Amino acid sequence: MLRDEIEQAVADGFTHFISGFATGADLIFAEAVIALKSKYPITLEAALPYPGRMQSRDPQFRRCLAACDVVKVHADTYFKGCYMIRNRYMVDRSDRVIAVYDGVSRGGTYNTVRYAEGKDVRFVWC
């Protein structure tokens, strides 16, 4: 489903994709974009909340990070709000948000969706 939404975004003229690189849906999204880079002229940006995330030993994370065109770190060090800063950055630079969201009314995805609702951003739900 994510791959289909990314391909639809490309068909609609989108060429730059941003992933928060969290374990789970973010990395699955990043892998889907990477897989499509050989088919389309698209780029992938890793939006990392703090430098320590780059030290992840997760092989999926390492592969995806190596395939990024842009890596942006949003805080000098970890602090409680660094993930939300990263999430707002992604929303503020997006005209479309492809969200994998289970409807739970707490947590980072919930807060990001609420933030994006106040913006002129098109949502696609997976």
In this prediction, residue 120 carries a pLDDT of 80
Single-letter residue type at 105 = S
- Which CATH number is 2-125's, of 3.30.460.10, 3.40.50.450, 1.20.1050.10, 1.10.390.10? 3.40.50.450
In this prediction, residue 109 carries a pLDDT of 87
In this prediction, residue 50 carries a pLDDT of 98
Rounded Cα distance between 65 and 60, Å, is 9
Structural domain spans, the chain: 2-125
Q: Which residues pair with 18 in a beta bridge?
A: 45
In this prediction, residue 57 carries a pLDDT of 96
Chain-centre distance of CA 29, in angstroms?
7
pTM of the predicted model as reported, rounded to 2 decimal places: 0.94
pLDDT tens digits in sequence order for the chain, 126 residues long: 899 999 999 999 999 999 999 999 999 999 999 999 999 999 999 999 999 999 999 999 999 999 999 999 999 999 999 999 999 999 999 999 998 888 888 888 889 988 998 888 888 877
Torsion sign, CA atoms 24, 98, 83, 40: positive
In this prediction, residue 113 carries a pLDDT of 87
